[in-house]
Amino acid sequence: MLFGRESHHTHARTQNIKSLMALNNYRCNVWIPKSKADKLGIKDGDKIRIVKGDKKSNICFAHVTEEIHDEAIFIPHGYGRFSKFMKTAFQAKGASDVDFCSNDTDPISGCAAFHNAFVKIEKV
């Protein structure tokens, strides 16, 4: 699982701004390679969840594309918020990358090894 920023969101708090959330129709779109989506019977726009062990994300939406490696998925950072004060972004808006990242450390740099989480995708 890879994660990063969307051009219209900077940090996790911008998901609480209605005009910015409207740019994605209030949805968290997960990039899935076409080859993997075909094997899983997932089509562009389908409702999906990210799963790691007994942890499941809120509802996300498939963005089926050939612009990502066949063994990866990409989720945008800042979704799946748990603060009740973020009324626009609270809970039902996708997956929190923090819930699925590993706690590993890169052996060369000593930095957090965020992009080595292994997850599954399930159609809802």
> Residue 120 contacts by C-beta under 8 Å, 6 or more apart in sequence?
50, 51, 52
pTM, rounded to two decimals: 0.83
Distance CA 64, CA 35 (A): 9
Q: Which CATH number fits domain 2-123: 2.60.40.420, 2.40.40.20, 2.40.110.10, 2.30.40.10?
A: 2.40.40.20
- Residue 43 CA, chain-centre distance (Å), reads 17
Three-class DSSP category at 6? coil
pLDDT tens digits along 29-69? 999 999 999 999 999 999 999 999 999 998 999 999 999 99
User: How large a percentage of the chain has pLDDT more than 90?
Assistant: 39
Q: What pLDDT was estimated at residue 94?
A: 80
